[in-house]
Each structure stands twice: as structure tokens, then as C-alpha cells.
A and B are shown apart, each in its own frame.
Chain A
Amino acid sequence: MNTIRENNVSDRALVDRVLGGDTNAFRLIMKNTEGLVGQIVYKMIRNPSDRKDIAQDIYLKTFQKLDSFQFQAKLSTWIGQIAYHTCLGYLEKKKLVLLDSVTDEEENEVLEKLNHTVNPFVNDIESSLFKQELSAILKTEIEKLSPIFRTLITLYHQEEMSYAEITVITQLPEGTVKSYLSRARKLLKDNLLLTYQKEAL
């Protein structure tokens, strides 16, 4: 609780400075939030040159809208929301696929295969080589996810955000966030096991 209050105090001080005409304070806001914005932009947008334009667009929008920020969330979460929706708008304009669609049949097929084999990791878990290999496979599998699943997984597991914070960023109902995350983890787990088995053969 204390950290939230402290964050809010410094958020407020920074916002007041920018609104009072101290444009340089905006640089500080950018430095504080660039990490999160970077994660969102990289997970949502594949094209490097588009990332550059979109990232600038996100902060120009933030600057313009700053006087409407009500401090109902952390400033970084609010900026995350602008980032996510700017990327989403871009993807929608380009008519790119936003979500993974897993049909039940596909899922069952994968399950069938997996249930006949013992979890292939169990004997390897302790070795550091295994961890490296797992990490590399995982990187590829995360890349294969749709933009929204990839972003949700990153926000929850890497940025360690709560469901409530992710709800603010995505403006999706909490139930939807939970169910997307659950599906994304399942996809990752199944694909991870399949790839690991293939590579072990």
C-alpha cells in the first residue's frame, strides 16, 4: 500500500510539473515508463520501423492527454493503457490476427499425444543445460502466440502485474483476462512439450 501511495505522490508531482509548463519533467515520466511501454510495443508490433512511429505516437498522446489523468491508477499503468490501445488500433487497421483461435479438435489432438507420454522434463530439470534449452524453446513459442496473448503473458509473468492492473491496461473484463492467460499458458505448455519431445528424439 505504501509503495502505491509513494508512487502516486511522485506521479502527481511529475504530472503537476509538466502541466505547469516544465516540459523537461516529461522526460522523467518517459524514463520511468519506457520499460513497460517497450514490452507492450515489442509484443504487439512485429515491424521494427512501425515500432518507432508507434512508440512516439504513444508518448505524444500521453502528453496531450496528461491533463485528463485522474490518478485513479498508477501513471505507468495509465500510460500502459495508451500504449496497448495505440498498438491495438494499428493492428486493427492492418487487419492483423489479434487472438489465437484454438479449436477443440486441435486441442484434443495435442492432448491425446501428450497424455500417452510421460512428462519429458522430469529427469532433466536439475541440469542447467535443460534450463537454457527450455528458455530458448519458450522464446520461440512465445513469438508464435498472437499479439494479445503474447502481451498478456508478458505483463503477467514478466512485468508481474496483477489481473486488476492488466484489466486497466487492456480494458478487458477481468474474467476475460484470466481466461486468455489460462489459454495462452496452456498453448505454451503443450507446444513446449511437443517441441521438447521432438528435439529429444
Chain B
Amino acid sequence: MKNKHLTDEEIQLYALDADACAPALVAHIQHCAHCQQEVLTYQLLAEGIKTQEKAVFDFDLADLVMEQLPQPKPTSDRPILYMIGGIMAVMIVVMGELFGSSFIGLFAYAQPILIGLVLTATIALTAFLGIDMYQKYKAQMKALNYY
């Protein structure tokens, strides 16, 4: 058993978390009225603080903040869709101008089933690229809305 009274820190530790105290300290407290009183005072203090009224904002903070946040803008999807469509149309026309004659040659000789295959692949690829471009645009617009 420790014969000297406990230090203030030890008293606090015992008052708040007796399990964390060394057995020698616990033994001293159990036999020392002075230290027991000190412990009691700290326990009263802790309870007294815990039961104090909590501070709360006396105004509607959420409303004040919300009106300052960037609102998600109802972005119109049309212009970009028109743009993608336009680019595709131009590309088809240009391709037609450049390779028109070879296309005709191709039509004359190739099997219809082969033409079908080539057309399907082309349409699928164009559609895929178009959708991808559109999604990237959406993601960027969203990022821009935040800052």
C-alpha cells in the first residue's frame, strides 16, 4: 500500500476510471478518508459538468447555409446532343464525299451479308463513342458546378 496521499492526477484518474489505476493506489484510497473525499469531489465535478445545459444555436443555421450553397442547376441536355449529332452528320457526309466511289464499287461486288456486318459495326462504334463523349461532358459539368 502506498503511504503518501495520491497526487491530484492520480486522484483524477481514479475518479474517472478506477479500472485504469494501479492496485497500490486503489489500496491506498480504500483506506484513506482524505483521498476518498478528493475522489468524491472530482466525481461530483464530472457529474456537474455532464448535466450542464448544452449550448445550441439560437438561429436556423441550416437555412442560412443552404441558401449560400451552389444549387444544382437544371442543366439542359439538348445543346450537347445536337452538337454530337451534328458532328456525326458532318463526318458521314465527309466520308461519303471521300470514299463515295469506292463504296459504290464495294456495293457492286461484296456480298450483302458482308455489307450488313460492316454497317452494324460502324453504327455500334459511332453510338458507343457518342455516348461516351456525352457521359464525360456530364461528369465535367457536375464537377464545375461545385466550385
Binding site for B on A (CB under 8 A): 20-23, 26-27, 30-31, 34-35, 38-39, 41-43, 51-52, 55-56, 59-60, 63, 67, 118-119, 121-122, 125, 131, 134-135, 138-139, 142, 153-154, 157-158, 160, 182, 185-186, 188-189, 192-193
| Given A121-B44, A158-B54, A142 and B61 contact (CB-CB distance below 8 Å) | no
User: Quick one: CB contact mask for B60-76 with A, threshold 8 Å, 1 for yes?
Assistant: 01101110111110000
Our count of residue pairs bridging A and B at CB distance below 8 angstroms stands at 103
* Contact among A23, A30, A41, A122 with B71 in the assembled complex (CB-CB below 8 Å): A23
Taking CB atoms, residues of chain B closer than 8 Å to A188 are 45, 49
User: Contact between B44 and A42 (Cβ–Cβ < 8 Å)?
Assistant: no
Partner of B145, one of A21, A41, A122, A157: A21
Q: Of B55, B68, B69, which is within 8 A of A42 by CB?
A: B55
Q: Which of A41, A119, A131, A154 has the most CB of B within 10 A?
A: A119
Closest chain A CB from B6 CB (angstroms)? 13
- Bound together, the chains give a CA A188 to CA B44 distance in angstroms of 11
Contact of A189 among B9, B42, B50, B57 (CB under 8 A): B42
Partner of B52, one of A21, A35, A52, A139: A139
Which of B46, B49, B57 sits near A142, CB closer than 8 Å?
A: B49
Interface size class of B (residues with CB under 8 A): 20 to 34
Cα A135 to Cα B44 in complex, Å, equals 10
CA distance A106 to B41 in the complex (A): 21
Asked if A185 and B51 make an inter-chain contact with CB atoms under 8 angstroms apart, the answer reads no
Contacts of B62 in A (CB 8 A): 27, 30-31, 34
Interface pairs (27), CB distance under 8 Å? A23-B72, A26-B65, A26-B66, A26-B69, A27-B62, A27-B66, A30-B65, A34-B56, A34-B61, A38-B54, A41-B55, A41-B57, A43-B55, A51-B57, A52-B64, A55-B57, A60-B65, A67-B146, A119-B38, A121-B40, A135-B51, A138-B52, A142-B49, A182-B8, A182-B12, A185-B42, A186-B8
Contact of A134 among B48, B57, B61, B145 (CB under 8 A): B48
